A and B are shown apart, each in its own frame.
Chain A
């Protein structure tokens, strides 16, 4: 009887410790995941915002105090539930579109996106035209 009682106690202890081992990883990771997800979203937004006191660096890459303060503000705004677009819009309302490393594709900004495409298409067409001209057989020769 006492053996049965000891075995029962051991079984309860083993089960509860197994539960503890199982539950621990389930409790902690979501917090870490939430933090790392917020960090990832912060980094993604911060990488699109220009550091006002640097030369061509984003606030994600700049070690300057202002950039770090701005990054912290991005993090806080995302944590409050603002969308990345709303956070970017806040910075644009304070600094103008200059704060965006890549201009938004609308209005006059479209020129920045259209010109490289036009240059590539125009250049390609020019090359095709030139190659055809160089490789075409002169009419006088084909007539012979």
Chain B
């Protein structure tokens, strides 16, 4: 009889403890994204911040994801009012320079902000190596399931979203992900 009661108590307690453990060990701000593994939503957005040579694009040029097929794309959503974006900016800009000459494109996308504010912020931060585009109606951000900035999406050469980082992305993490995507993209899996 006691064994039966103990078994029933255990059956009730184990799921509760499992739920408790799950909620205690995960970041409450982290929301699972259904996008990794799926084709990256297409976008065509105008450049407002040109970046620096050799990664620069002319202001007013349209950056189209469709034109970047076959390249690894690092898409970073940011805003001038975002404090965490300050933490990752210099590292992201440096990492972009390290991949000059490789099939990797870094693009910044301004989120719920004006190009004037974005331009001033870039100047204040000491410049940005890669170009930034503006998403005037926030449609691209919603297409990427954005819920805050910064968020960085890594799109493989096959046009699929491979990874997403919510919050400031550390340079070594960016490098590791980009390198792994370059390995996959290279013919025969050889080093690019």
The CA of A52 and the CA of B145, in the complex, are separated in Å by 9
Is B1 engaged at the interface, CB distance under 8 Å to the other chain? no
Does the CB pair B145–A95 fall under 8 Å? Answer: yes
- A residues in contact with B33, CB < 8 Å: 95-96
B147 is contacted by which of A69, A93, A95 (Cβ under 8 Å)? A95
A98 is contacted by which of B32, B35, B139, B143 (Cβ under 8 Å)? B32
The CA of A65 and the CA of B138, in the complex, are separated in Å by 9
The contact string, 1 if C-beta is below 8 Å from chain B, for chain A 42-55, is 00000000001100
Is A73 engaged at the interface, CB distance under 8 Å to the other chain? yes
Is B5 engaged at the interface, CB distance under 8 Å to the other chain? no
Q: A65-B138, A69-B137 are in contact. Are A94 and B148 (CB under 8 A)?
A: no
Does the CB pair A73–B144 fall under 8 Å? Answer: no
Residue of A nearest to B113 (CB): A65
Does the CB pair B145–A94 fall under 8 Å? Answer: yes
The CA of A73 and the CA of B137, in the complex, are separated in Å by 9
Is B105 engaged at the interface, CB distance under 8 Å to the other chain? no
Interface of A is mostly: helix
Interface of B is mostly: loop
- A residues in contact with B35, CB < 8 Å: 94
Question: In the complex, how many residue pairs between chain A and chain B have their CB atoms under 8 Å apart?
Answer: 44
Is B112 engaged at the interface, CB distance under 8 Å to the other chain? yes
Is B24 engaged at the interface, CB distance under 8 Å to the other chain? no
The CA of A70 and the CA of B139, in the complex, are separated in Å by 8
Residue of B nearest to A65 (CB): B112
Is A66 engaged at the interface, CB distance under 8 Å to the other chain? yes
Does the CB pair A98–B142 fall under 8 Å? Answer: no
The CA of A53 and the CA of B79, in the complex, are separated in Å by 15
- B residues in contact with A65, CB < 8 Å: 112, 138
Is B8 engaged at the interface, CB distance under 8 Å to the other chain? no
A95 is contacted by which of B34, B138, B148 (Cβ under 8 Å)? B34
Residue of A nearest to B145 (CB): A94
Nearest Cβ in chain A — how far from B103, in angstroms?
27
- A residues in contact with B17, CB < 8 Å: none
Interface residue ranges of B100-149 to A (CB < 8 Å)? 112, 137-139, 141-148
Q: A52-B147, A53-B148, A66-B112 are in contact. Are A73 and B142 (CB under 8 A)?
A: yes
10 further A-B contacts with Cβ under 8 Å, apart from A69-B141, A94-B145, are A52-B31, A53-B148, A66-B138, A66-B141, A66-B147, A69-B138, A69-B139, A96-B32, A96-B34, A96-B145
Closest CB pairs A-B (n = 5): A52-B147, A69-B138, A94-B145, A96-B34, A95-B145
